[in-house]
């Protein structure tokens, strides 16, 4: 166990010395990595927060359920209780015929709505607030509620939900594609940097191989070198993302305040930052391992 730890500590120290040996060159490489990681992550945060704000402004999607006029209060209560336990329902509001009549009178601005009628024709209703904005889930929930024998009609205005869901999905797919492109660029940059380091140390590697060093021993310092570059690039990327977030929020406040609106991009949480750094390390490991393995395969005698 002690020997295993010493080997890795030695490899990390060797990788650190290689970074320090050419600070300007490696700083530029780290900056390129940071910018490549910061662009898609910043766009993702802006779009995800904008979608959340749009959902909040539009309000939670709701299904207006008109019950049959013959239902009793006990039946309404039982139906409400059964719907409250549904996984896609967040809240239910009951609207009595009397309350519905008052709202109708307020909207029309008159108290003569029942002129010529001997009773209130409005049925009792339930306003079902869904917990999801997915149009497919909303439509399935509407059909499920409408199937009840106590329900006369269930209305859902899902047009805005469809538009918002489609736009958000499109932007997320675009950012995912952009992230893949930048990730590929980062891998190529790290592979090229590690390849240059391996080529410069060719004689040292050949001597180590003649002395019986394993491929793992030769590969280890260069893999840590690539991972250190990606780790530093990831840390710088979070700094750039935070500066961009603060600048965006300042401009957003100036532009939207005259219209009575506000929008602020939230910072990355600790778990999100940790996952981002882990992904960067994985990319660094893959790029460095590929570059060193390719060199060692050419170095072996045929």
- Which pLDDT tens digit goes with each residue over 69-117? 788 888 888 888 888 888 888 888 888 777 766 766 666 666 555 555 5
| 109 phi and psi angles, rounded to 5 deg | 70, 30
- What's the number of CA atoms in the CB half-sphere (13 Å) around residue 124? 18
168 CB contacts (<8 Å, ≥6 apart)? 47, 51
Question: What pLDDT score does 121 carry?
Answer: 65
- pLDDT tens digit sequence for 243-269: 988 988 888 888 877 777 777 888 888
d(CA 11, CA 224): 7
Domain encompassing residue 121: 62-157
Q: 228 pLDDT exceeds 70?
A: yes
Residue 38 · residue 179 · CB < 8 Å: no
Q: How far apart are CA 107 and CA 89, in angstroms?
A: 28
Please tell me the total count of domains within the chain.
Answer: 2
Question: Between these two residues, 157 and 274, which has the higher pLDDT value?
Answer: 274
Q: Are 47 and 71 members of one domain? A: no
CATH (domain of 148): 3.30.70.3040
Select from 140, 157, 174 the last residue of a domain.
Answer: 157
Q: Which of 102, 130, 157 is the last residue before a domain boundary?
A: 157
Q: In whole angstroms, what is the distance from residue 101 CA to residue 98 CA?
A: 5
pLDDT beyond 70 at 68:
yes
pTM: 0.66
| Rounded-to-integer distance, Cα 197 and Cα 211, Å | 21
d(CA 130, CA 61): 6
Task: Check if the beta carbon of residue 144 is closer than 8 Å to that of residue 128.
Answer: no
* 302 pLDDT tier (thresholds 50, 70, 90): very low
Residues 128-169 pLDDT 10s: 888 777 777 888 888 888 888 888 888 876 666 667 777 777
Domain stop point among 106, 135, 157: 157
In a shared domain, residues 22 and 68: no
Q: Nearest-CA neighbor of 123 among 40, 59, 67, 42? A: 67
Whether residues 69 and 52 fall in one domain: no
> What pLDDT is recorded for position 151?
86
């Amino acid at each position: 166990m002690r020997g295993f730890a010493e080997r890795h500590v030695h490899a990390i120290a060797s990788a650190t010395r290689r970074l320090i040996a050419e600070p300007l060159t490696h700083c530029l490489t780290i900056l390129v990595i940071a910018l490549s990681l910061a662009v898609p992550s910043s766009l993702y945060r802006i779009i995800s927060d904008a979608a959340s704000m749009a959902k909040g402004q539009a309000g939670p999607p709701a299904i207006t359920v008109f019950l049959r006029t013959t239902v009793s209060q006990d039946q309404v209560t039982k139906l409400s209780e059964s719907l409250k336990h549904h996984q896609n329902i967040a809240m239910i509001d009951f609207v009595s015929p009397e309350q519905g009549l008052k709202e109708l009178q307020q909207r029309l601005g008159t108290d003569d709505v029942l002129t010529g009628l001997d009773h209130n024709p409005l049925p009792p209703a339930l306003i079902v607030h869904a917990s999801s904005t997915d149009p497919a889930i909303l439509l399935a929930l509407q059909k499920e509620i409408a199937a009840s024998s106590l329900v006369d009609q269930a209305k859902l205005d899902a047009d805005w939900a469809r538009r918002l869901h489609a736009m958000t999905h499109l932007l997320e797919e675009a950012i995912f594609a952009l992230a893949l492109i930048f990730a590929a660029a980062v891998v190529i940059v790290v592979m090229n940097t590690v390849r240059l380091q391996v080529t410069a140390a060719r004689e040292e590697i050949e001597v180590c191989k003649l002395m019986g060093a394993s491929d793992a021993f030769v590969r280890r310092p260069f893999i840590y070198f690539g991972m250190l570059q990606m780790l530093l690039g990831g840390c710088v990327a979070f700094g750039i993302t935070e500066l961009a977030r603060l600048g965006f929020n300042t401009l957003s406040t100036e532009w939207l305040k005259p219209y009575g609106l506000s929008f602020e991009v939230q910072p990355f949480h600790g778990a999100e930052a940790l996952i981002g750094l882990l992904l960067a390390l994985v990319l660094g490991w893959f790029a460095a391992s590929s570059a060193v393995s390719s060199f060692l395969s050419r170095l072996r005698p045929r």
